[in-house]
């Protein structure tokens, strides 16, 4: 781009409020726990993701409903990536307008995906600020991690605005590393059971023969927030805890780049428990340290899914953020990405979070519960947490007080769960929190649960006890669904895909109902630290309950 043209564009776009430019619904800007370092050098590169408007979203949603509903003639007739691309691909006009806009500003280093609905472009910060008036790129640090984000809202020309859902890489910041809790060490003389693969197999009735055997089955975990696993930890974990059942001791494929340094407790937990529950199943790890400080790892993962035709059938993700910290436009687009995965037969499992019902403080006597996303998405299966009634024995399970759950303030309740949620609300009317705390018409979660308390994990070659969080329960459920997929595929049946419509039709069949305990909520006079409570059938703390593997297998094979 010559200097005269650059000067002209700079002058033309310099006013954020000038006519012809529109702002997007944008996320909350940088939280206070990031330290501002300063404005980035104008020549420094940033990488932005342009989410192009897709087509046929209503048809995509209806297709997902049909292929996921066991009562439909289309059940299990999943689409290929190419078929998904043909369905949602942006119009020719959208693609031309966006590309010409980028090219007119001298942005040429772009790559697309197979579905053609994302463009990833690298440019200088100076050029990005011209392209997106109002944006101003600065560096921030927290916990030795550095990111580059815009400190102000951005806008685009109104002719382009209608062709984009959002531009990624400007505002969203990684949430703090998920709170994988390590409890205090018991005093001398105390006995503690501790959850290991053998304990999980005993509780959920998995035998030594309940392991994977098929060649066309695989599972995956996705890691963000600079979380990495160490192969030596996995090998040691399996040597310690995997002696009673056939298993793999190595990950088959790493997508992305494993960072150096210490292993993350979160990553170690995810890998070790999906591979010991979904034993002998080929396992992938998606990891994204980010090539640029401007990258958003979660969004990068979603873009990857749109660009890979061969993917594992089950993905478990221990990642989330408060709904109210994200823009509706961003969440709606991610919902579309979840639907794109679901119509391909991919099961996405998200941890429900470790803050119970959560709490948003909005002034005196104005607290509300605080739902988490993607846990609140209607298009994923969300997994809550439980603990043993008696921690010294393999007994029945009760609510783990940290188990995330509640009702979305953004997404309406999907039809597949309306009856179950209505039944819960009617049966516990007398003990419900005040309705000002939650949205009774929102998507309710979790959908199911598993043990989330007192796990043993090997990390950095050290066995660590008493690790807790729904980061534990989610890969455990994912591993069992992978085993069920293996059985289905061996019988010529399709993969489970988006599980929720079928799960809610089972009405708890194949699951241990959890009926005791409450999770945490706002610590105030009205609810006094209590959120929702477990109840017979579905509830917003443990969903339908925890897996009884042989019964769930039978129910999902029929």
Q: Give dist(CA 471, CA 493) in Å, integer.
A: 30
Q: Give dist(CA 528, CA 97) in Å, integer.
A: 54
Q: Give dist(CA 470, CA 446) in Å, integer.
A: 11
Question: Which three-class secondary structure state does DSSP give residue 450?
Answer: strand
Catalytic residue among 27, 47, 236, 266: 266
Handedness of CA 179, 180, 185, 190 (dihedral sign): positive
Neighbours of 206 (CB within 10 A): 23
Q: Give dist(CA 31, CA 44) in Å, integer.
A: 23
Helix, strand, coil shares, percent, the chain, to 5: 30, 25, 45
Q: What interhelical angle do 328-343 and 57-68 show, nearest 10?
A: 50
Q: Give dist(CA 474, CA 477) in Å, integer.
A: 5
266 in active site: yes
Catalytic residue among 210, 270, 321, 354: 270
Catalytic residue among 471, 482, 513, 539: 471
Residue 56 Ramachandran class (φ > 0 left, ψ -120 to 50 alpha, else beta): left
Q: Give dist(CA 134, CA 156) in Å, integer.
A: 9
Task: Please identify which residue in the block is written with the tokens 């980061």.
Answer: 471
270 in active site: yes
164 forms beta bridges with: 52
Pairing of strands 372-373, 321-322: antiparallel
Task: Please identify which residue in the block is written with the tokens 């890969």.
Answer: 475
First to last CA, the chain: 63
Q: Is-contact 266 318, C-beta < 8 A?
A: yes
Nearest to 195 by CA among 265, 273, 264: 273
Q: 28 is written with which tokens?
A: 């909350």
DSSP labels for 388-446? ESSTTS---EEE-TT---EEEEEEEPPHHHHHHHHHHHHHTGGGSPPGGGS-TTEEEE-
Q: Give dist(CA 477, CA 238) in Å, integer.
A: 19
At a CB cut-off of 8 Å and minimum separation 6, what does 225 contact? 174, 175, 177, 178, 264, 266, 297, 319
Q: Give dist(CA 524, CA 112) in Å, integer.
A: 49
Residues catalogued as catalytic: 266, 270, 471
């Amino acid at each position: 781009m010559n200097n005269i043209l650059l000067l002209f564009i700079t002058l033309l776009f310099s006013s954020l409020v000038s006519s012809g430019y529109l702002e997007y619904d944008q996320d909350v800007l940088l939280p206070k726990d990031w330290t501002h370092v300063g404005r980035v050098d104008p020549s420094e590169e940033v990488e932005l993701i342009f989410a192009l408007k897709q087509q046929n979203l209503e048809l995509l949603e209806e297709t997902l409903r049909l292929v996921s509903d066991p009562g439909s003639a289309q059940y299990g007739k999943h689409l290929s990536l190419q078929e998904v691309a043909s369905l949602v691909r942006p119009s020719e006009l959208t693609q031309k307008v966006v590309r010409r806009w980028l090219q007119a500003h001298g942005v040429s280093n772009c790559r697309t995906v197979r579905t053609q609905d994302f463009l990833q472009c690298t440019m200088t910060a100076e050029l990005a600020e011209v392209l997106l008036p109002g944006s101003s790129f600065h560096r921030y640090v927290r916990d030795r991690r550095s990111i580059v984000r815009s400190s102000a809202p951005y806008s685009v020309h109104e002719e382009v605005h209608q062709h984009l859902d959002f531009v990624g890489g400007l505002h969203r910041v990684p949430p703090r590393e998920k709170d994988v809790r390590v409890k205090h060490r018991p005093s001398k003389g105390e006995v503690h059971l501790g959850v290991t693969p053998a304990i999980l197999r005993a509780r959920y009735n998995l035998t030594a023969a309940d392991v994977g055997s098929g060649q066309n089955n695989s599972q995956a975990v996705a890691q963000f927030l600079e979380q990495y696993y160490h192969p030596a930890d996995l090998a040691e974990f399996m040597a310690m805890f995997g002696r009673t059942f056939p298993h793999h001791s190595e990950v088959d494929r790493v997508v992305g780049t494993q960072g150096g340094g210490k292993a993350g407790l979160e990553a170690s937990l995810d890998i070790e428990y999906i591979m010991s529950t979904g034993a002998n199943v080929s396992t992938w790890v998606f990891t994204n340290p980010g090539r640029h400080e401007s990258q958003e790892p979660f969004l990068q993962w979603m873009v990857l899914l749109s660009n890979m035709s061969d993917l594992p059938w089950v993905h478990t993700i221990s990642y989330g953020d408060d709904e109210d910290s994200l823009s509706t436009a961003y969440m709606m687009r991610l919902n579309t990405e979840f639907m794109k995965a679901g119509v391909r037969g991919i099961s996405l499992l998200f941890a429900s979070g470790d803050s119970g019902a959560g709490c948003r403080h909005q002034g005196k006597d104005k607290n509300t519960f605080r739902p988490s996303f993607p846990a609140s998405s209607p298009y994923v299966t969300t997994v809550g947490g439980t603990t043993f009634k008696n921690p010294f024995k393999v007994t029945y399970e009760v609510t783990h007080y940290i188990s995330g759950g509640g009702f979305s303030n953004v997404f309406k309740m999907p039809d597949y769960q309306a009856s179950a949620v209505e039944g819960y609300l009617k049966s516990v009317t007398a003990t419900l929190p005040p309705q000002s705390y939650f949205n009774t018409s929102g998507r309710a979660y979790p959908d199911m649960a598993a043990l989330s308390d007192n796990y043993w994990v090997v990390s950095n070659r050290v066995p660590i006890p008493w690790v807790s969080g729904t980061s534990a329960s989610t890969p455990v459920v994912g591993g069992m669904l992978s085993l069920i997929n293996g059985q289905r595929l061996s019988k010529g049946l399709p993969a489970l895909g988006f599980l929720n419509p079928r799960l809610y039709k089972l009405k708890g069949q194949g699951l241990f109902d959890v009926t005791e305990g409450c999770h945490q909520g706002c610590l105030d006079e009205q609810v006094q630290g209590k959120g929702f409570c477990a109840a017979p059938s579905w509830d917003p703390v443990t969903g339908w309950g925890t897996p009884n593997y042989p019964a769930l297998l039978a129910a999902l094979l029929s």
